[in-house]
Structure 1
Amino acid sequence: MQTEKVVNHIVDWLKDYATKARVNGFVIGISGGIDSAVTSTLCAKTGLDLLCIEMPIHQAASHVTRAQEHIAQLKKRFPNVSDSRVDLTPVFEEFKTEVSLDGKQETVDMALANTRARLRMTTLYYHAGLLGLLVAGTGNKVEDFGVGFFTKYGDGGVDLSPIADLLKSEVYKIGDYLEVPESIMNAAPSDGLFGDARSDEDQIGASYPELEWAMQMKDEGKTADDFTGRQREAFEIFTSYNTRNQHKMIPIPVCEIPKDLR
């Protein structure tokens, strides 16, 4: 990958899109992870306004520390960057008092995790509307189009996706080029939706290098029968996520009414 040229291409694309949309810049949620760090730095390089928002909900201390380190670095490097902190923990706790928490604990936990992401999306769009900004998405190609590892209308609810055509490994290459803090570069990827230290790999059951490999194999028309051992296991994990999360990756189905019924 021609890293510098890719970076310049994305920055130009962001600037051009924002100019045509007649907005002032971008707003992005900062999680302390590599994807939001790279995306926010790319947005900052446009020279347009960039609002970085921390939105903790019972967040792990390590995530908070990394997010704050990154924001401080961005503000030092780019005069167009500002930041805000919106503690959504009280909102989340109040929400829980108004809904039923009955059901299998695993199901309840997942529904609440997705609720965290949707509260954050609402917060980003509030500020976007207030300040004339676009919500920049942080999903990469493996998450958005491989395994669907994002929350529908949560972190998947964005105006534009600057890094969605980049594999996770490519995001790290760009992160290194953009001088993203080492603490973020070295941290295990995590969605941070459960308030603990579990990583993406813990949840999915496969690492990003394995998922990238499986994604490539699927594109080449391979099936599980072509592999054995751990390769087969990783391929089946990828295929399972890819199949059941298609509803996140395709346009919303529309029931078209036949002309003879109108």
Structure 2
Amino acid sequence: MTKKSTIQVEKVNTHIVNWLKTYAENAKVNGFVIGISGGVDSAVTSTLCAQTGLQVLCVEMPIHQPHSHVTRGREHIEQLKNRFPNVTSVEADLTYVFESFKKIVPENVDTHKLHLTQANTRARLRMTTLYYFAGIYGLLVAGTGNKVEDFGVGFYTKYGDGGVDLSPIADLLKSEVYSLGAYLEVPDSILKASPSDGLFGDERTDEDQLGASYDELEWAMNEDQAGKSANDFTGREKVIFEIYKRLNTTNKHKMNAIPVCLI
């Protein structure tokens, strides 16, 4: 079930860079701000933005981050700054802000709901921070979500990492992001790392949370578009398809436009 990327990386790279530059120029902004997580999505997005020649600000926003995430993020930022003179970086350590916030809200609630809510709160603190820098420097917040996350299973935080101005890689499957990342010479430490949103302060991976790998979810997303149902499969394929459909249904409120009561 391993997904093989078939995109023409050079053409895709050129297309996205031109799209970014044209959008920014039409919006009359100075460039882009991107949150760097140490993952492949933010690494690819920031490299694409850097190629526009416009101002690019990479922001580290640790909140009890695992050391491996911090190390990978910093390796990427240093590499990017060495390659592109238009790239700068800043660190905004939000750990104290997060801990201060926790002191003024209830914590004696259901443990699972508490941990998930706190994870989403981290993402929303980061979104607020990115827009702070965007406002100061006249930048657009570049989203880092891929197609599986943004339109398949809704694996992002509403008004957190989902709160962006534009989404350069949201039409690329995760396997395609990896192919583009290799073409863009993203550090191997990032390309080889297990995907993780880093919102829980530990080493849990995206697959740990989702119950399926991105290759598996890409397969299910494709089968769903072909009109298949869980009853068309058996074994692991049926389990994966059911996981995909459950997440796709549960997270529709993120992926669909906000409902408006028309009068």
1:172-183 matches, cutoff 5 A: 172-183=178-189
Q: Determine if the alignment matches structure 1 residue 151 to structure 2 residue 153.
A: no
- After superposition, the CA RMSD in angstroms is 0.3
1:25 maps to a residue whose letter is G
- Residue in 2 aligned with 1:260? none
Residue deviations 1:74-101, cap 9 Å, x none?
Answer: 0000000000000000000000000011
Q: Which of 5, 9, 26 is matched with 2:15 structurally?
A: 9
1:220-259 matches, cutoff 5 A: 220-257=226-263
Greater relative contact order (Cα 8 A, min sep 6): structure 1 or 2?
2
Runs of 4+ more than 3 Å apart: none
SS of structure 2 residue aligned to 1:98? coil
Q: Structure 2 stretches of 5 or more lacking a match?
A: 1-6
Residue 23 of structure 1: how far off its partner (Å):
0.1
2:210 maps to a residue whose letter is I
Residue 102 of structure 1: how far off its partner (Å):
2.1
Q: Determine if the alignment matches structure 1 residue 19 to structure 2 residue 25.
A: yes
1:21-100 matches, cutoff 5 A: 21-100=27-106
- Residue in 2 aligned with 1:101? 107
- Residue in 2 aligned with 1:141? 147
Residue 44 of structure 1: how far off its partner (Å):
0.2
1:210-221 matches, cutoff 5 A: 210-221=216-227
CA distance in 1, matches of 2:185, 2:25: 27
Residue deviations 1:25-78, cap 9 Å, x none?
Answer: 000000000000000000000000000000000000000000000000000000
- Residue in 2 aligned with 1:170? 176
CA distance in 2, matches of 1:225, 1:152: 31
CA distance in 1, matches of 2:103, 2:202: 22
CA distance in 1, matches of 2:77, 2:9: 23
CA distance in 2, matches of 1:103, 1:206: 28
Q: Number of residues paired by the alignment?
A: 257
SS of structure 1 residue aligned to 2:103? helix
Residue 103 of structure 1: how far off its partner (Å):
1.3
CA distance in 1, matches of 2:216, 2:8: 23
CA distance in 2, matches of 1:224, 1:252: 29
CA distance in 1, matches of 2:22, 2:56: 15
SS of structure 2 residue aligned to 1:83? strand
2:120 maps to a residue whose letter is N
- Residue in 1 aligned with 2:4? none
2:10 maps to a residue whose letter is E
Residue deviations 1:203-239, cap 9 Å, x none?
Answer: 0000000000000000000000000000000000000
